[in-house]
């Protein structure tokens, strides 16, 4: 084993050691990357790189999309769009067996189309829907599992922050990722809804959820749409302008942020709401950019060991089928998702995995969608399970253990969808075939 290989293995071991003792992942990657550069390139070269890299790695105009989409999501949240999304869904489908949990899934899908964050989606929809579901007799297991899992749709349905970060890490066009994520996002919500319907039919404890309530009249349904028009407007402004070529992703994000701000004003938002939205989106943007810098330095240091290139060549030599190789590449995300958030996981793994994807002619857009699906699973699995803990904070009356148990059937649905997308990739890729 060469000294470069030893350095690469030491980098991986050192990174996990720092993470294990509680060092934030951005700082851990910066420390390990810098140490590797000093060791392999010398202090003078490392000093030059570190002095310029934080600016050069983030000073790209395309990165403006991150704070703009984050601000749009904050304004959508502060405008009360999540509440109105649930109201519309409840009016239209609340009378069905499992109607309230299914309405929660629909509300999460709708709010995800203007938010882009799974955590915010789960928290805002959960704050509204969980008390109503529990009052109607839905079990904590079904109510919590449905909202925590459906909240993860914010990681997939455009404008997804996770897909933006994947685009930054791999240089895959974000517009292509957004275009191909729409159908998987809708299909995921439909599978959740079907799963809930079957759940309440076969589970004795969900008798109350199985009971149908009086259906709303068509007049009431039509009237309810008036309270949800902002979501349709925002989604059309952002995704419509991008997919039709009227605006670039950055321009569409800017228009979306302005539109979300105007909607907030229309809904009576005060200066304090804008101030809080700017602070929250600014803080989140800073965290993302710090992760970009950290992953970039770690990638530079890791690239000097030649391990990514040699692994790509070695795996190509195994002549594995594309399906088997894709599954092998996705398995680590299942375990990493138990300990890392999705953005950290993507920025950490892409320097090693993406050369393998390119070398073996795996479609990078399909891979991005599948990685995002794995991130959805990571958001609801212990011990981290960010969506579960955020939901507990938004709805203190539920038990964390019950939510984790309730997430298990949805994880099975996720694996079913991932298998479907691997076996029939055109379900994902057909928007790019025209």
Q: What is the pLDDT along the chain (434 residues), one digit of tens a residue?
A: 566 667 777 877 888 788 788 888 788 888 888 888 888 777 877 777 777 778 877 777 778 888 888 888 888 888 878 788 888 888 888 778 888 899 999 988 888 888 777 878 888 888 888 888 888 888 889 999 999 898 888 888 888 888 988 998 888 999 999 999 999 999 999 999 999 999 988 887 777 666 666 777 778 778 877 777 888 888 888 888 888 888 888 888 888 889 888 888 887 778 888 888 888 888 888 888 888 888 788 877 777 776 666 666 676 666 778 888 888 888 888 877 777 777 878 887 887 888 888 888 889 999 999 999 988 888 788 776 778 888 888 788 888 889 899 999 999 999 999 999 999 999 999 888 75
Does residue 141 have a cis bond before it (omega within 30 degrees)? no
Q: What is the pLDDT of residue 155?
A: 83
Nearest to 128 by CA among 90, 73, 71: 90
Residue 112 to residue 347: CA distance in whole angstroms: 22
Residue 409 to residue 198: CA distance in whole angstroms: 11
| Coarse DSSP helix, strand, coil percentages of the chain, rounded to the nearest 5 percent | 80, 0, 20
Q: Are 153 and 121 in contact (CB under 8 A)?
A: yes
Residue 156 to residue 161: CA distance in whole angstroms: 8
Residues written for the chain: 434
How distant, in Å, are the alpha carbons of 143, 199, 203, 209, 267 from that of 95?
16, 16, 18, 10, 29
Residue 41 to residue 177: CA distance in whole angstroms: 36
Burial, 310: exposed, middle or buried (Cβ in 10 Å; 0-12, 13-18, 19+)? middle
Of the CA atoms within 13 Å of residue 158, those in its CB half-sphere come to 31
How distant, in Å, are the alpha carbons of 145, 154, 161, 342 from that of 119?
14, 8, 11, 11
Nearest to 176 by CA among 363, 49, 10: 363
């Amino acid at each position: 084993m060469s000294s470069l290989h030893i350095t690469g293995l030491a980098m991986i071991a050192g990174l996990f050691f720092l993470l294990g003792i509680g060092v934030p992942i951005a700082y851990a990657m910066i420390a390990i990357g810098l140490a590797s550069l000093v060791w392999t390139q010398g202090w003078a070269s490392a000093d030059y790189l570190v002095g310029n890299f934080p600016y050069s790695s983030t000073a790209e105009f395309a990165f403006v999309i991150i704070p703009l989409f984050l601000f749009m999501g904050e304004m959508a949240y502060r405008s009360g769009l999540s509440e109105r999304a649930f109201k519309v869904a409840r009016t239209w489908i609340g009378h069905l067996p499992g109607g309230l949990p299914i309405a929660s899934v629909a509300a999460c899908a709708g709010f995800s189309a203007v938010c882009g964050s799974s955590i915010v989606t789960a928290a805002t929809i959960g704050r509204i829907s969980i008390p109503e579901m529990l009052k109607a007799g839905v079990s904590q297991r079904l109510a919590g599992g449905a909202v925590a899992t459906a909240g993860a749709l914010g990681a997939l349905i455009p404008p997804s922050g996770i897909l933006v970060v994947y685009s930054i890490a791999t240089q895959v066009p974000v517009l292509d990722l957004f275009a191909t994520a729409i159908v998987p996002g809708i299909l995921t919500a439909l599978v959740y809804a079907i799963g809930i319907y079957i759940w309440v039919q076969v589970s004795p404890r969900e008798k109350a959820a199985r009971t149908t309530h009086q259906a709303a009249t068509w007049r009431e349904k039509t009237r309810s749409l008036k309270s949800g028009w902002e979501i349709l407007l925002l989604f059309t402004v952002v995704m419509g302008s991008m997919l039709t070529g009227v605006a670039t992703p950055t321009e569409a994000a800017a228009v979306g942020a302005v539109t979300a701000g105007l909607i907030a004003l229309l809904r009576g938002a005060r200066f304090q709401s804008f101030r809080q939205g700017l602070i929250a989106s600014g803080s989140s943007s800073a965290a993302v950019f710090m992760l970009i810098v950290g992953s970039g330095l770690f990638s530079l240091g890791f690239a000097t060991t030649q391990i990514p290139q040699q692994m790509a060549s070695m795996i190509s030599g195994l002549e594995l089928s594309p399906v088997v190789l894709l599954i092998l590449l996705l398995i680590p995300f299942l375990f990493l998702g138990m300990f890392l958030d999705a953005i950290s996981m993507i920025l950490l793994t892409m320097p090693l995995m993406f050369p393998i994807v390119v070398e073996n002619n795996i479609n990078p857009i399909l891979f991005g969608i599948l990685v995002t699906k794995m991130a959805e699973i990571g958001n609801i699995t212990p011990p981290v399970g960010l969506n579960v803990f955020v939901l507990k904070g938004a709805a203190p009356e539920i038990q964390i253990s019950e939510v984790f148990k309730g997430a298990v059937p949805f994880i099975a649905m996720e694996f079913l969808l991932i298998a479907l997308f691997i076996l029939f990739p055109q379900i994902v890729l057909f928007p790019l075939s025209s």
